[in-house]
Each structure stands twice: as C-alpha cells, then as structure tokens.
Chain A
Amino acid sequence: MVTGATCFLPRADLDRLFAALRADDRTILGPAVSDGAVIYDEVASPAELPTGWESDTEPGSYRLRETGSSRAFDYVLPVTSWKRYTHPAFVPLTRARRDGSQVEVEAVLDPPPRLAFVGVRACEIAALDIQERAMRAGPIGDADHAGRRDAALVVAMECAAATSTCFCTSMGTGPEVRQGADLIASELDEGFVIRSGSATGAAMLAGLDLEPADPAQVERAAAQVAAVRTRIGDPVAVEGLPERLRAALDSPRWEQVAERCLACANCTLVCPTCFCTSVGVASDLDGQEATTERHWDSCFSLGFGRVAGDANFRPKVKDRYRQWLTHKFSTWFDQFGSSGCVGCGRCVAWCPVGIDVREELAAIAPVEGPRGPIPWPPAPDAGHAPAALTVVAPARHVTTSVVAVTQETANTATLRLATSDAALLAARPGQFVMVELPAFAAPPISISRIRPDGLDLTIRSAGPATAAIVALGPGAQVALRGPLGRGWPLESALGHDVVIVAGGVGLAPLRPVIEAVLADRARYGAVRLYLGARTPADRLFTAEMNALAGRADLEVAEIVDRAGPEWLGQVGIVTHLFDHATWNGDRVTAFVCGPERMMQATAAALTGRGVDPAAIWLTLERNMACGVGTCGHCQLGPFFVCRDGPVFSIAELGTAFGREGL
C-alpha cells in the first residue's frame, strides 16, 4: 500500500527520521537560519532546524521573527528554492583538449548526489515537477537535472502558516500536499502527523514503526492547512490569464513597470521554476585545456538577448519584463502544458524595489480585458505530460576532421568535415550543429551539405569563435554536437512548385534543400531559386550556382544590393526577382533564409502572391546555445528556436515573427 495509514511522529523522535534518511545513504537538506533568513542547507540534526522562527514578508522585504515556539516549520518559505540542488547554480558540462591539430571534447556528467529534501512545501513540489518538465521536454532532455531529480527523496511539510506574499491557492499548487512526495507531514505542537506518498516513503515509514495518528491530530492538521488557505485567499485571478496576457503584448503598463524594474534578475533566480542558463568557458593560458560550465542566467540581463554582431533581441527592460511575465503565465502553457508560476511569492518578497507580480498581472491583463486574437497557434508539441519525459543521455561530442577549406567570400569559408558518426551522417537538411573548438564558445552552424562521408559547414566569421573555426586548415580537428533542431519539411513540398529564396550566407542552410530536391527532381513541380547578396563579392557557391543556372529543369535568378562595374546582373532587394513573375502562388512551397528583415520582406511578398503562410518556411537565427531547449536563450514567444525550429512556417510563428523585443 503506497499511501498507508497516517502515523504520528513525536517531536523527540524526529531524529529517528533523520537517522533513517542517513541510513538510506542520503545527505539531508532542510531549512536552517543563516544571515537573517531561512535558507536550505545541509542539516545534520533536528537541532539545526529553524525552531521558533517565523517570517514576515512584504513586497521587497523579508524579516525573521523569533517566537519562542517549539515548532520548526513555521518559517513559511526560505529564500532558496530546491532548484539549487536539482538545477545547481554551476554545473560542469565539458572537458576539452586541443593539442596541435587534435581536438577532443568529452561530456562531464557527475553521478547525482543522494539527497533527502526535508520540509518541501506544496508549491515547491509543484515547482520541482514544472521544472522537471521544462528540463526534460523535447527530444533531448538534460541528463544532469534528470539524475539529480530522480535521486532526491522528498519529505513534504504542509504549511501551517502563510505570509502576505503567498498565492499558491490561486495557482492551484497548495497549500495542501496531495502528491509528488515520498513522505507527507504536517507539524503540530507535539510532533508530526506523517503519511507516505510513494513506495520508498512507505518502506521508510514502516521502518520507523510509528503509532497511528490520533484522528483528532489528523483533524487538527487539516484545520491548520485550511486556515492557511483562508488566510491567503485568492489574490490572483487566473481564469483566462494566458489568453489575457497574449492580448496584452502592447500594454502601456510594460513601460511603466520597466521604470521601476531594476532588471537585476533577483525574481528569476529566486523563482523555483526559472531554468535559464548560460555557458562559461575557462581554459589554461594557451587555450589547450578547456572546460565549460553552465551557470544560472536570467532573461533580465541585457547579455541574455545578445547575438553575434552585438545585436540584441531584448534591448529594453520592458522587453525583458514582458518576456519573463508572459513566459511564466502564458507561453509556459504552450510549451509545457502548465503555468510556470506556482505562487510561492519569492519574486515579490525578494524584489529589491518591491514590484508585486500580482499587481502587475491585474494591471497588465485585467480580468475584464480582451482575450484575443491569439497571436500564435499553440506550439506543435505543447502539453508534454509527465509520462512523456524523455530518456536522457549525456551530450555527444564527436570529433571530426577538416578535409578541405574553401574560401567562399572575404569573410565566409566552407569547411569540409569528415566523420563516420551515424547520427551526424543522418542529419536532415535545415538542421544545425554546435561547433566546438576548445576554449571558444560554441556557435550554432547550419549544415550546408550532407555527404555520405561527412558534412560541409559554411561559416561566416562574425566573432572570435567563428573566426578561429574558419581559420582551421586541412587536417585540423573540430568537435560537433548534433545534429540539432527540426529541418526543412521537404515532404510537405512533394508535388508542389518549390521557391527557394536566399539572402547572403542564408544560402548555406538552403543548399541541402536544393540538392535534395534535384536528387528527387521528378517528384516536385517547377523549381525556382532566387539568390540575393549584398555585393557581387558576397555571392556564395558561385561556381555551383552558375552550373545550376545552366540547367533546364530549374530557374535561377540572382540580384545584388550594391553592384560593382563588373556586375551585369540585376540590382536591388531579392523580392524584386519575382515582383513581376507570372507564376501562381497557390501550388508553391517556399524555403527562405537570410537576414531577418529580408525574410520579413520575402514572406510578405510571397503571401502577397498567394502562397499559403503554412507553406512558407524560414529558418531563424537566435542565440542558440544549448541546442536542446533547456537554456532559454533562443526563446521566441512559445518556441525555443533550437528545439522547435530553427525552421518554422510563417503560419506557426504568427505575429511572433518580426515583433520587436520578443
């Protein structure tokens, strides 16, 4: 019986529970007083618990108060959340070595510690589940997180007190603990009523050999938590909240809250579900021995939205506040099938200027406010149920060798890489790889040719890492992680006319499309290739494209923004190439890649010609870093570009495409 009888654990016997947890080879983590606050830390014995401490919180304020009570769990919530242990602030990722031309990158995956979490609140159990779904969604989950979460034993403690910042009742996560814990306890003056919530918990409880709880004790525990519910009330109107927020993307309130918001990131770092990270690189002086480590990061920092060339997707604080709030309460549903907020109120209490998310929600997305139109349809794989958690494995870093380097333009080169790795060779057109050179940050690079014996990568030197990679010569090695992302849906174009529009280096991820279509030419209708470049010197794969232009079974047209005296072709933007075309758009599937503004113009021109938005596919550039949807960098509305894209249709993106600050 998993949930057996409710027992009574006398206060004096709490150390027996601690002993049982230790006998199970677990380190015990629980609440302890430190520096004027309750934090989670290692607790050796019940004597280290915050007995006789309560807390008062207000927006921007937290104060501990000594009451002299004998109770140890009346402090409500610590500043730290359990993510410090399931998703630590620093996690080593790789060890790499570069010796001459030789490169080796290996994943670091330390065995998870066996921990017991003591004193877990109902809202925190919800948070553990929500973060687990985020870290294990998509085809590849996070192995470190999964290991830690699976190895943790949860001893829940129902709340007997609440503070002014609590709102679990509104978010539907508490204060009652119903499931998700191995042991579920409630504290009374004389001790604890405790029951099991899992087979592990049941075995542990049986080992303690406790007396059954008195029905009056069970009743008192229930009354206690019922009083907490009453005290909290229902401070946030959640009905229709995701839809209300979607309709409020242009609310003037974002600007107003940004005047107060420090963008200091405290709210996201104390949040028990926020999971965003960045990767740091460390190396010896010569860059021969290098390690990477991920650390907590936040969408509130300017650097989080930064991409190559110092562009930034969220330059303004109002963009960043909107990103955070709409993700927590709206796009989280699209991505993971639940709210990203559990109502613990940490973001309210620990905001240094006391911004209250409950107030902001009411002002930005009022209950009587509009609920539509929905700017984007739900993500294709929304609503991951816990049962669908991925089986996770350590990341694979495959060493490949440079066979040849072709200089395409002044700053762009194609690396011909040799590999026998089956997964890499099975890459689909439109997928990308992370290119790892020890001591450099790994850039995401689209595959520009899939060969039977390797991959071509066409790389524009846009920063130190890409510059170092294009400077590699034949015989040098480089490690790849991938293939990643969703490729071009070539099957959707079967029987259709195909229009391919490329701008500059955007031709690179489209070349596998061209090659796949030509390899299977009979199964497609007319094929038209429109190529744009800044200047004639910026044209990519010129010999190949010239050869294609000579073929009778496809149409190739080229244009440049700025011509030189030697250029006899067309001048202008790429859409000019089909402004006066006679083809009909209703049988067209289009594949587009180039600078974001070029893609916007192209999408508009194609739609204007009658091409179905669901048949216009483009590939987005974002600051993809983890490649598997767990670092948060490349989020665009309800999507992680790395995992859900980088190829999207215009219909999928809806108004998320081209919207400033998203």
Chain B
Amino acid sequence: MEPQQLIMPGRRSPRADAPNRPRIGIVKFASCDGCQLTLLDLEDELLAVAERVDLVEFAEATSRRSMGPFDVLFVEGSISTAEQVEEIVRLRAVSHRLITIGACATAGGIQAIRNWFELDEVRDTVYPGPTYVESLAQARPVSDFVAVDGELRGCPISPAQLREFLVSMVTGRRAQLPDEAVCLECKRRGVVCVAVADGVPCLGPVTRTGCGAICPAYGRGCYGCFGPRESANTTSLASWFSDSRSAPDVARLFSGFTAWSEPFRATIDARGGPPGQADPREESHDA
C-alpha cells in the first residue's frame, strides 16, 4: 500500500459540504466495544466531528455499512479466530490508514493471557459446553497480521487522545500522543507516588502515559493498561519488586491488559508465566 497522507498538510479542513470528507470506518474484533464507544464520549463535539468526516461504518452508532474503501479505519479488538484473520487482511487492503485502538487491538488484550495456556484447558474451564467455540490458539494484536499506521493505547482508549488524533487528522498536524512514562503525568498533577510513599507496586514507570494517571490519583498502582512506554525497563522494576515479592506475584503484576506486549511478556516469561497455570480445579480434575 502506497503511504499516503489523508489530508494534505496545511489544507483547510473539509466540511460537510465538501466532497472529499475522509471516509472513516470503525470495526471490531475480539473486544468489548468500550473503545469505539469512546467516540460517543466526545459528546459536545460529536456532531462537529460527524460534519467533518464521513462515517461510513460504525455499528455502534449507525446502520450504514460499508465494505470500504476507507481513508481511515479504526480497528478495535484482538485477532482471535481464523475468520478474523481473513477479515483483517481484507480490511487492510481497502484502508489507506489503519489505526488500532485499545489494549486488545494493540497488545492482544486481557484475553491474551490465555496465550500462555493450552487452548483446550482454557476452553474447558470457561465454557460448560465448548463444542462450538472456534478459536485460534492465541489472541494476538492486529499488528501481528497486517501493517498498522498508528495506534491509540488504553483500556479503554482516552477520549482526549481520540480527539487529538481526529484533530490532527483534520488539520494535518502531528498528533501529540506522548510515549513517555505515567510518572510524568503523576508529578505534573501533584499525585503523591504510591510506590514510594505507600510501597504499592505500580507499573507507572514502565507504562505509557495517556490515561491522566487515574489509578495513582486514587491511591492504587498503575496496572499498565496503556502498555509499555518507550525505554520500558521492566527488568529493573521487576527486580525491585522481587525484593519483597515472590516470582508469581511479580508475574501477576505484569499480567494485565497488555501482558502479551514486549517487554511485559518477557518479564512474565522470566517468572514462569502468569499465575494460575496450576489451577486447583485442573489439578483435582486430573486426579
């Protein structure tokens, strides 16, 4: 696919009467719909956004459907079945820019924790009658299958970041989506560090900012839903945690919504995988 800029930089933004409003689609795979609903959280500006783009596919908000082509396609959810693999490949071919949104699409999501287990075991544990459950062995991020032009992280994504992305798309400027640690947001907000002042394990130093440091602001540790930041030194942080915690406990800290993304995954692997592999029910079953 030819890399192409959606709007020529510097060009005035398109309005409803303009024939060349960008054709936008929002689709989902294995996920909860929470990220795409963030668009509806824009509330005050939602109508203004709708005037500036041509929303041709968004099942949560409109009955219009489209097979493409799309100027920008937002993709939510991890790829978890064989049909989804075919569909994402087809969508990539009809999308100028493909943007993944949320922890599932960018990192595999919470369901990727099953990637460490035998699929049959997981299926038997979760479903009483697993006969009709068709699934790939692993739930994986979209970027494992097709090229991705950009991503919005989080579980769910941040309305402010989605707005920033849309504004950058319409005005032709670079989106300001920082890749630094959550710690900077804590300190700017004046949130007292829960790790240092309370000894609460916090993934903030290795997690990408964007959430506004919500969890530390409420006195709990960051659990990494925006995934690894640039330069995420999980080795050092996990080693610091290990001074007072067992290896499974440290692995559990990293086994959240973005567990499958590196270097979180390697940190979990180094401690024998996410806790729960020796599920007591399984043990008694085997016995």
Contacts and interface: CB of A to CB of B under 8 A. Distances in A.
Interface of A: 34-37, 39, 60-64, 79-80, 84, 89-90, 259-266, 269-270, 280-281, 283-287, 295-298, 301-303, 317, 349-354, 437, 439-441, 461, 463-465, 467-472
A270 B184 CA distance: 10
Given A89-B187, A259-B236, A439-B167, 11 more contacts: A34-B192, A35-B191, A37-B197, A79-B193, A261-B236, A262-B237, A296-B184, A349-B196, A351-B196, A352-B195, A467-B172
Most chain B CB inside 10 Å of its own CB: which residue of A263, A350, A461: A263
Contacts of A265: 180-181, 183-184, 187
B170 A286 contact: yes
Contacts of B66: none
Nearest to A350: B196
Interface stretch (B28-36, B44-52, B99-107): B44-52
14 contacts: A36-B197, A37-B197, A39-B192, A63-B197, A89-B190, A259-B235, A264-B183, A264-B206, A283-B171, A285-B171, A301-B181, A353-B236, A464-B168, A468-B9
A316 to B, nearest CB: 9
A110 B151 CA distance: 36
Contacts of A264: 181, 183-184, 204-206
B87 to A, nearest CB: 31
* 7 residue pairs, one from A and one from B, having the closest CB atoms: A468-B10, A471-B10, A287-B171, A269-B187, A467-B9, A264-B205, A89-B188
Contacts of A441: 173-174
A439 B170 CA distance: 11
A165 to B, nearest CB: 11
A287 B9 contact: no
A468 B172 contact: yes
B197 A35 contact: yes
Interface in B170-224: 170-174, 176, 178-181, 183-184, 187-199, 202, 204-206, 219
A285 B49 contact: yes
A472 B10 contact: yes
A302 B184 contact: no
Contact of A60 (B13, B167, B192, B196): B196
Contacts of B199: 61
Nearest to B53: A285
A585 B230 CA distance: 47
A463 B175 CA distance: 12
B148 to A, nearest CB: 17
A352 B234 CA distance: 12
Contacts of A467: 9-10, 172
A225 B8 CA distance: 65
Nearest to B231: A263
Contacts of A286: 12-13, 52, 170-171
Interface residues of B, number: 50
Contacts of B281: none
Contacts of A262: 181, 205-206, 233, 236-237
B190 A80 contact: yes
Given A465-B173, A467-B10, A285 B184 contact: no
B240 interface: yes
Contacts of A283: 167, 171
A631 B276 CA distance: 48
A284 B45 CA distance: 10
B205 A352 contact: yes
A266 B196 CA distance: 11
Contacts of B197: 35-37, 62-64, 79
Interface string B94-135: 000000000000000000000000000000000000000000
A298 B230 CA distance: 14
A301 B198 contact: no
A19 to B, nearest CB: 27
B27 interface: no
Interface in B247-270: none
Contacts of A296: 184, 187-188
Contacts of B180: 265, 298, 301-303
Contact of B13 (A37, A266, A287, A468): A287
Contacts of B236: 259-262, 353
A562 B181 CA distance: 43
Contacts of B191: 35
Interface in B54-98: none
Among B176, B187, B204, find the residue whose CB has the most chain A CB atoms closer than 10 A. B187
Nearest to B182: A264
Given A265-B184, A283-B167, A354-B240, A464 B192 contact: no
A264 to B, nearest CB: 4
Given A353-B240, A468-B10, A301 B173 contact: no
B37 interface: no
B219 A35 contact: yes
Contact of B183 (A61, A259, A266, A280): A266
Nearest to B180: A301
Nearest to B166: A285
B11 A90 contact: no
B200 to A, nearest CB: 10
A264 B231 CA distance: 9
Given A39-B192, A262-B233, A349-B196, A281 B187 contact: no
A280 B176 contact: yes
B188 A37 contact: no
